[in-house]
A and B are shown apart, each in its own frame.
Chain A
Amino acid sequence: METKFDMIVIGAGHAGCEAALAGARLGKKVLLTCLNLDSVAFLACNPSIGGTAKGHLVCEIDALGGEMGINADETSIQIRMLNEGKGPAVHSLRAQVDKIAYHCRMKKVLEENPSVFLKQAEVTEILVENEKVIGVKTALGESFFAGAVVVATGVYLKSRIIIGEFSQNIGPNGFASANGLTQSLLDLGFEIRRFKTGTPARINGRTIDFSKLAPQEGTDGISFSPLSKNPNKNVAICFETATNLKTHEIILKNLKRAPMFSGEIKGVGPRYCPSIEDKIVRFPNRERHQIFLEPEALSTNEIYVQGVSTSLPADVQNEMYASIEGLENAQIMRNAYAIEYDCINSQELSPSLESKKISGLFFAGQINGTSGYEEAAAQGLVAGINASLKLDGKSSLVLKRNEAYIGVLIDDLVTKGTNEPYRMMTSRAEFRLVLRQDNADSRLTEIGRKIGLVSDERYQLFKKKQEILEKMRKKLEILIKIDEKTKKFLKENQEPIPSGSIKAIDLLKRNNIDIYKLNETYDLFSEEETRFMDTINTEVKYSGYIKQQNDEIEKLKKQEEVSLVEVEDYFKIKGLRIEAQQKLNKIRPETLGQASRISGVSPADITVLSIYLKTRKK
């Protein structure tokens, strides 16, 4: 077998797959290694893609030319739009996917790509020469060489699962763990941390009494990607249930046997995705915690119990799950477990996700301290793009916080760092009103096209959509006469009647009128246009707020454009507080804007810095 590649990607999870595909689609020859090829794009936790903020990430990955959105659409068995009543900025797609189909389809896409070489192997060493990566070595003693390496090892580094008093050094779902690479990273000078996450039990659907439970069905006609050929077969139904006081009593009675509290688990767990024992201890007054029962795949009876992740012992798990309505006779097929794993300090990376120390070495996904498939895929895509750009000698892709959730995610990771598994949330995005799912393409597709990742097909669809939107905007400029029809329309909607005539757009701006009512009355839009009515509705209704947010972005732009690359030693800048000097020297921000977001760097420090830069220029 060939040993020379352009790029090597270690790990074929959600980050690794995107990294490898991005590299290959940008013309690089990519070796993609995976401990076990049956775990390619494996959904180790919930069988779903998307959710609040995560749906945004998937749309952005898709707009840039990534694979996750299409893969989720093609294998989805139910899809819904969350937060419909809470405003367009937080509308989030969430798809239940067939986890087996999801894995198979992604694996096939990789296999079919002539530039991707998918290989089962455990990488145990990263080969570096003169602070530049040159390749990797595997457990079998083989060496492979490349100018860029993306580390996307997920939760597999020295992973250990814990169920009550039981623990075992394996990865998720019984897959093997990777035990050699941590030492190699330590030898290269990386700080290694220990994080923890967990997953609930899988139950045989045959043993669940669904008749008592509220069903939850999907919505037709929505998808992540415009490229999906076969979107959303809404064939699966989820069910709602909840814990009760009896469940809580069982947990509290056995708390001392919970590894989280007995001290057995040392890794830091995610605050935003806590285990059930964690939730009960932290919210003692809650009488119930909501649970969703989600089918794992169409080809299996296994049901995922969302909301009840735990590391309690097996006997307690049996008792606890059986206390839940509908699960009285449930048979646990796979027990819930907690998993600990090694990861790095993401502050050691630059915004391109390349290591600051070792040239050509990129990191993406859970190794950087994140949680979630979508967060991983987003980083994988960016790492893959930047590895390729680096090989071509081009400057890297750094998305700004006002351009994409991906920008927020990576900026947070490299600037603020994280002390717990990092989950994307819409509240992390300060420019939330402009970072919507519905405009992900207009924010990012041109960028993806310029890089070379956006295919002709995707680009034409995008251009067509822009044309349609433009036509719709023009249609809203037409004058509507205040005739009997309009008077009736306004009266029905309790809106005052103006004199003379009024533009359609001004009617739409009225509080009680939306684009659906408007189109129903005046029949403005053609059938292909009606698909984008929500986008136009948002544009018009939120224009004032969007403008304000854009003004803020414009103001901050100035700071983002001030480069700090030439500052050599912050200890030499008088007036900076010592804490700020230390943090700045460690993180070495690329711009003044990035510096301002480092915790421990105060606004006063930023002023000192900008004054220093100004006086130095003179």
Chain B
Amino acid sequence: MGEKTICAISTPLGNSAISIIRMSGKDSLKIAEKYFSSKSLNYKKIEERKMYLGAFKAEGISEKCLFVYFRAPYSYTGEDVVEFQIHGGEYLAKKILEILAKNCSLALPGEFTKRAFFNGKISLDEAEGVIDIINAETQAELSSAYNLSSGKFNREISAFQKSLTEVLAKIEVALDYPEHDEELITTKEAQKVLLEIGDKLEQIIENSSSGQKLKSGVNIAICGSPNVGKSSLLNALLGRERAIVSSVAGTTRDTISETIVHNGIKFNLTDTAGIRSEGDEIEKIGIERAKKEIENSDLTLFVVDLTRETTEEEKALLKELDKEKTIVVLNKKDLAAERKLSGYTCVSISAKREENISNLLNLIYEKTIANKIDLSKIVLTNMRHITILKEAKKLVDKTLQTLDSMSLDVVAFEIKRVWNELGKITGETETEEIIDEIFSKFCLGK
């Protein structure tokens, strides 16, 4: 671990005022000495955590920059770290990185954090939070990752573990000191604690299963009869052309997916083939796929053409949809009088003229996120954590069953299993496999 010295550009590429290039490992200072010089800097007496103003000189460039040195283990990675703050601009940053990389290796994504973890600088869940921050694509995802890296989630889970430990301690006293009238734990007490933890776990899981959508995005299917303007709606939502728009019914024979970000949330929009009872073979396949899309989506936009009467076929289709998960989008309001379909959330728009699209977007947000996820509470976007909490919840339920039917030694055993499961999050029972599993995410190449 940490044998090789690594370097990377630590600021995002693109236009920015400055870029930071970071190098970590035992040779980092030696390599820096080759290129960076400053009147106030004597490398033999270098002060750590002090900014030096000087120049980075090599291969024809002479870049005025700031330089700082962190001595191991007092750095982010726990190794010797140096950082160059240079002027912004992709070309310059890449050029300097290229020069440094002749002396060391390029860091893999997340490698600094991985080293920080292995050097004991940060805990496992903090590391996971950092990975999620690195990989976060939207604001909401970022704030969830931030909760993780700041330890809020860890504290909550630790609190569960603490209550379990208290119950366990009482049971253990009863088991190990049978001859003394130590305050014996009643099964009622254990039951109360377990029920409470079970409820809280359930809440987090529920909040997070919708919260998982912060990460993967909310899935929205656009459906309706042929030629009501589904593709136009998609284009309006995207604000650009993507789906093939034509007035020949049945143009969209396959599903088309696009992603937009609204209020910091990802929405995956899928345009489906028009649904009607007759059509050719290819269309039938498309329709099958559309039905599947609707099943898998979190919300369906059912598009209706205001210039036409609502057909029996449409009414039948609507009946198959879950009212809670459906918005009826009445299109072409520029061409016809508005009307409503009672019992359904309705919005009238003009896809072609992009009228009322922002209202529709807000409605979508409300129906899928605002009413479902409390962002101020803990929202998990990490699949591993959600899986563990689900398993923990299952074990809590099982323990509650044993309270009535089994002896205390078994109850203690079951409670310990819950504790251990939660420990996979707080890092108190982590095993090599868990760590491998987490750090394998680093190499996915984002």
In the complex, which of the residues B124, B177, B179, B407 contacts A292, with contact meaning CB atoms closer than 8 Å? Answer: B179
State the CA gap A1–B430 with chains docked (Å): 60
Kindly list chain A residues whose C-beta atoms are within 8 Å of the C-beta of B412.
427, 432
A82→B178 contact, CB < 8 A: yes
**Does A545 have its Cβ within 8 Å of any Cβ on chain B?**
yes
Chain B residues with CB under 8 Å of A427's CB are: 172, 175-176, 412
Q: Are A290 and B175 in contact (CB under 8 A)?
A: no
Q: Does A27 reach chain B (CB closer than 8 Å)? A: no
Interface centre among B118, B406, B417 (most CB of A within 10 A): B118
The distance from the CB of A255 to the nearest CB of chain B, in whole angstroms, is: 22
Are B180 and A90 in touch, CB under 8 angstroms?
no
The residues of B that contact A603 with a CB separation of less than 8 Å are 427-431
Given contacts A574-B2, A574-B3, A577-B120, whether A83 and B413 have CB atoms under 8 Å apart is no
Compute how far the CA of A483 lies from the CA of B380 in the bound complex, rounded to whole angstroms. Answer: 56
Q: Complex formed: what's the CA distance from A602 to B427 in Å? A: 9
Bound form: Cα–Cα A458–B220 in Å: 74
Q: Is the CB of A432 within 8 A of B407?
A: no
B413 contact from A86, A549, A604, A607, Cβ within 8 A = A549
* Cβ of A87 under 8 Å from chain B: yes
Nearest CB of chain A from residue B182's CB, rounded to whole Å: 9
Q: A432-B409, A602-B120 are in contact. Are A86 and B178 (CB under 8 A)?
A: yes
A sample of 15 cross-chain residue pairs with beta-carbon separation below 8 angstroms, ordered by A number, consists of: A88-B409, A90-B408, A292-B179, A426-B409, A430-B416, A432-B413, A433-B410, A548-B417, A574-B2, A575-B2, A602-B120, A605-B120, A608-B1, A611-B1, A612-B1
Instruction: Give 11 A-B pairs besides A52-B178, A542-B410, A578-B73 with Cβ atoms closer than 8 angstroms.
Output: A51-B179, A88-B407, A88-B409, A90-B178, A290-B179, A545-B413, A574-B1, A603-B428, A607-B430, A608-B1, A612-B1
**B1 touching A575 by the CB < 8 A rule?**
yes
* Residue of B3, B413, B428 with highest tally of chain A CB at under 10 A: B413
A425 vs B412: C-alpha distance when bound (angstroms)? 14
Q: Are A604 and B117 in contact (CB under 8 A)?
A: yes
User: B405 in the interface, Cβ–Cβ < 8 Å?
Assistant: yes
A446, B118: Cα distance in complex, Å? 43
CA distance A574 to B409 in the complex (A): 42
A303: Cβ under 8 A from any B Cβ: no
Q: Is A244 an interface residue (CB 8 A)?
A: no
* Interface set of A (CB-CB < 8 Å, partner B): 51-53, 82-83, 85-90, 92, 288-290, 292, 307, 425-427, 430, 432-433, 511, 542, 545, 548-549, 574-575, 577-578, 580, 602-608, 610-612
Q: Does B435 belong to the interface (CB within 8 Å)?
A: yes
Query: Which chain A residue lies CB-closest to B181?
Result: A290
- B407 in contact with A86 (CB, 8 Å): yes
Q: Which of B409-446 contact A (CB under 8 A)?
A: 409-410, 412-413, 416-417, 427-432, 435
The answer to whether B409 and A86 touch across the interface, beta carbons within 8 angstroms, is yes
Closest to A91 in B: B409
Closest to A291 in B: B180
> Which residues of B line the A interface, CB within 8 A?
1-3, 73, 117-120, 124, 172, 174-181, 405-410, 412-413, 416-417, 427-432, 435
Query: Do A89 and B409 have beta carbons less than 8 Å apart?
Result: yes
| Cβ-closest 4 pairs across A and B | A87-B407, A87-B409, A575-B1, A89-B409
Residue pair B179, A86 in contact (C-beta under 8 Å): no
Q: Are A90 and B428 in contact (CB under 8 A)?
A: no
Q: A85-B407, A603-B427, A604-B117 are in contact. Are A53 and B176 (CB under 8 A)?
A: yes
- In the bound complex, how far is the Cα of B394 from the Cα of A38, in angstroms? 60
CA–CA, A575 to B117, complex, Å? 9
Bound Cα distance A292, B179 (Å): 9
Which A residues lie within 8 Å of B117 (CB)?
604
How many Å lie between the Cα of A14 and that of B410 in the bound state? 33
* CB contact under 8 A between A83 and B178, given known A575-B2, A603-B428: yes
Q: Which of A90, A292, A549, A604 contacts B118 (CB 8 A)?
A: A604
A86-B175, A610-B432 are contacts. A604–B120 as well, Cβ < 8 Å?
yes
A487 to chain B, nearest CB (A): 23
* Listed residue (A89, A575, A577) with the most chain B CB atoms within 10 angstroms of its CB: A575
CA A602 to CA B408, docked complex, whole Å: 30
Q: How far, in angstroms, from A603 to B1 measured CA to CA in the complex?
A: 16
> Are B175 and A545 closer than 8 Å at their CB atoms?
no
Please, which residues of chain B bring their CB within 8 A of the CB of A51?
179
Q: How far is the CA of A577 from the CA of B2 in the complex (A)?
A: 13
With A88-B409, A574-B3 known as contacts, the answer to whether A52 contacts B118 (CB < 8 A) is no
Contacts of A548 in B (CB 8 A): 413, 417
With A and B bound together, what is the CA distance between A292 and B181 in angstroms?
12
A507 to B108, CA, bound (A): 60
Given contacts A86-B409, A87-B407, A603-B431, contact A426 B120 (CB under 8 A): no
Write out the residue numbers on chain B whose beta carbons fall within 8 Å of the beta carbon of A604.
Answer: 117-118, 120, 124, 427, 430, 435
Residue of A nearest to B428 (CB): A603
Interchain CB contact under 8 A, A82 and B409: no
Closest chain-B Cβ to A428's Cβ sits at a distance in Å of: 9
Closest to B127 in A: A604
Q: How far is the CB of B177 from chain A (nearest CB, A)?
A: 7
Contacting pair B176 A426 (CB below 8 A): yes
Across-interface contacts of A511 in B (CB, < 8 A): 405
How far, in whole Å, are A605 and B118 apart by their CA atoms in the complex?
7
Q: Are A607 and B432 in contact (CB under 8 A)?
A: yes
| B1 surroundings in chain A (CB, below 8 A) | 574-575, 608, 611-612
Contact, CB under 8 Å: A577 / B119:
yes
Docked-complex contact B120 and A52, CB < 8 angstroms: no
On whether the beta carbons of A90 and B2 are closer than 8 Å, the reply is no
Q: Which among B174, B175, B181 has the highest number of chain A CB atoms within 10 Å? A: B175
> Roughly how many angstroms separate A603 CA and B127 CA in the complex, as a whole number?
14
Q: How far is the CA of A127 from the CA of B390 in the complex (A)?
A: 62
CB distance from B30 to the nearest CB of A (A): 17
CA distance A288 to B182 in the complex (A): 10
**What residue of chain A has the Cβ atom nearest to residue B177's Cβ?**
A52
Measured CA separation A355–B124 after assembly (Å): 37
- CB atoms of A426 and B175 under 8 A apart: yes
The answer to whether B180 touches A290 (Cβ under 8 A) is yes
Of the candidates B124, B174, B179, the one having the most CB atoms from chain A within 10 angstroms of its own CB is B179
Q: Are A545 and B124 in contact (CB under 8 A)?
A: no
Task: Output the residue of B181, B405, B427, B429 with the most chain A CB within 10 A.
Answer: B181
Q: Which residues of B contact A574 (CB under 8 A)?
A: 1-3
Q: Within the assembled complex, what's the spacing in Å between the Cα atoms of A483 and B198?
A: 43
Whether B174 contacts A607 by the Cβ 8 Å rule is: no
Asked if residues A87 and B408 are in contact (CB atoms below 8 Å), the reply is yes
For A580, give the chain B residue with the smallest CB separation. Answer: B120
Question: In the docked arrangement, what's the CA distance between A425 and B427, Å?
Answer: 26
Cβ–Cβ < 8 Å partners of A578 in chain B: 73
From B409, B416, B417, B432, give the contact of A90 (CB < 8 A). Answer: B409
Residue of A with least CB distance to B408: A86
CA distance A92 to B409 in the complex (A): 13
Contact: A87 with B410, CB < 8 Å? yes
CA–CA, A85 and B407, complex, Å:
7
**Minimum CB–CB distance for A321 against chain B, Å:** 19
Check A52/B176 contact, CB under 8 A, given A433-B410, A545-B413, A575-B1. Answer: yes
Chain B minimum-CB-distance residue to A89: B409
Contact, CB under 8 Å: A433 / B413: yes
Across the interface, name the chain B residue whose C-beta is closest to A425. Answer: B176
Give the shortest distance, in Å, between B75 (CB) and chain A (any CB).
14
Q: Which residue of A lies closest to B118 (CB)?
A: A575
Residues of chain B within 8 A of A607, CB atoms compared:
118, 430, 432, 435
**Contact between A86 and B174 (Cβ–Cβ < 8 Å)?**
yes
Q: When chains A and B are docked, how far (Å) is the Cα of A387 from the Cα of B413?
A: 37
Q: How far is the CA of A43 from the CA of B3 in the complex (A)?
A: 59
Q: Which residues of A contact B73 (CB under 8 A)?
A: 578
Residues of A within 8 A of B175 (CB): 52, 83, 86, 90, 426-427
A582 to B89, CA, bound (A): 46
**Contact check: which of B124, B409, B431, B435 meets A433 at CB < 8 Å?**
B409
How far apart are A539's CB and chain B's nearest CB, in angstroms?
A: 14
Kindly state the separation between the CA atoms of A52 and B179 in the bound complex, as whole angstroms.
10
A575 CB → nearest B CB, Å: 4
Most buried by B among A53, A290, A427, A542: A427
